[in-house]
Amino acid sequence: MKRQAFIRFALSAAALCAAAGVQAQTTKLRFAHAGPESASQHLAALEFAKMVKERSKGTLEVSVYPGSQLGNDSTVIGAVRGGTIDIMMAGSGNFSGMAPKLDILDIPFLFRSPAHAYATVDGDVGQRLAKELEPHNLQQLAYWEVGFRSITTKNRAVNKPEDVKGLKIRTTPNPTHIQAWKLLGANPIPMPLGELYGALESGAVDAQEHPVDITYAAKFYEVQKHITMSRHAFTAMPVVMNKKKFDGLKPEQQQALLTAAQDAKLLQRQANQKNEAGILADLRKHGMAVIETFDPAPFRAVVAEPLRQAFVAKHGPELLSAVDAIK
């Protein structure tokens, strides 16, 4: 009897040890971002988490925290560098303070089309820019996208550069974004995404510029009346991880993260392109006037060349020439 009890105890202990061993082998990762839960970036992050768990055979588990739950972009970038958060994504302009060459991606009217933008970030130029982040303890997993930005306003539609003069417009903290709006005569106000709705509602800012899916997901249609499909700038969204944490993983775990990030990137791009027409229809239903006839030439004449020249003066012509040469 005692022998049977001992055997049962031994088997139970072995089972507990095995379970503990499996649990110990699971590395939990926190993925933070500022986007709303219904935005394509968050939906892609959820798919990324599923793929990572499957491809790592359960040894990696990603929890996603949207809507600036763990802090605004600049706070979370610092936390990922320091290792208290593992993964994050933000518009490329948020990284230009530590990696100034990333400013190239935010030059207005740089990209001829989505295909041109994707070929740039997915190719040699994108790889070279990603390397700029590594000395800052950031390992890039992929370029997702904020997308092509279009301007929304409350009191007047934007059809020509003169319509922008005097507007208090929310921007990212990126110097290129800020200078572009100054050249157009606007008053740019850098502000975290999480604070923007309240600022639009109170009148602290008059206007903002985001891709249509974020404008819709953040319900800016409740506090803005016009959207001009200006598509004046493409914003890439690097998905980055604490480099020390990444380097400490097994090769197959690193591969799971990298391939999942790339596949989620494609899903997000497809969703953005597929959903734009439907989102514009929904914005109209919510009372927004959608201005789809936009002539970029007068705007480009004011902002593009000065900002291109400023980039070349700081970093030389090579990167810009490489982007222009992409077919």
DSSP 237-260: EEEEEEHHHHHTS-HHHHHHHHHH
Which pLDDT score is estimated for 275? 87
What is the pLDDT at residue 2? Answer: 45
Please give the structure tokens belonging to residue 206.
């008059």
Q: Which of 93, 35, 24 is nearest to 268 (CA)?
A: 35
CA distance 288 to 307: 31
Number of H helices and E strands in the chain, helices first, is 12, 9
Q: What is the mean pLDDT of residues 256-268?
A: 98
Say which residue, 146 or 326, is predicted with more confidence.
326
Instruction: Give percent of the chain with pLDDT exceeding 90.
Output: 87
Q: Class of the 27-325 domain?
A: alpha beta
- pLDDT (0 to 100) of residue 219: 97
Q: Is 231 left (phi over 0), alpha (psi -120 to 50) or beta?
A: left
Q: What angle do CA 315, 311, 179 make, to 5 degrees?
A: 145
Note the pLDDT of residue 4. Answer: 52
Spans of all domains in the chain: 27-325
Least confident of 49-58, 103-112, 236-245, 273-282: 273-282
pLDDT at residue 19 above 90?
Answer: no
Residue range 200-218: mean pLDDT, rounded: 95
Which residue, chain included where needed, has tokens 């089972």?
Answer: 15
How far is Cα 200 from Cα 155, in angstroms, rounded to an integer?
Answer: 11
Burial of 113 (0-12, 13-18, 19+ CB in 10 A): exposed
Average pLDDT over residues 83-101: 95
Residues 38, 153: Cα–Cα separation, whole Å:
22
The contacts of residue 203 (CB under 8 Å, 6+ apart) are none
Q: What is the pLDDT of residues 25-42, one digit of tens each?
A: 899 999 999 999 989 999
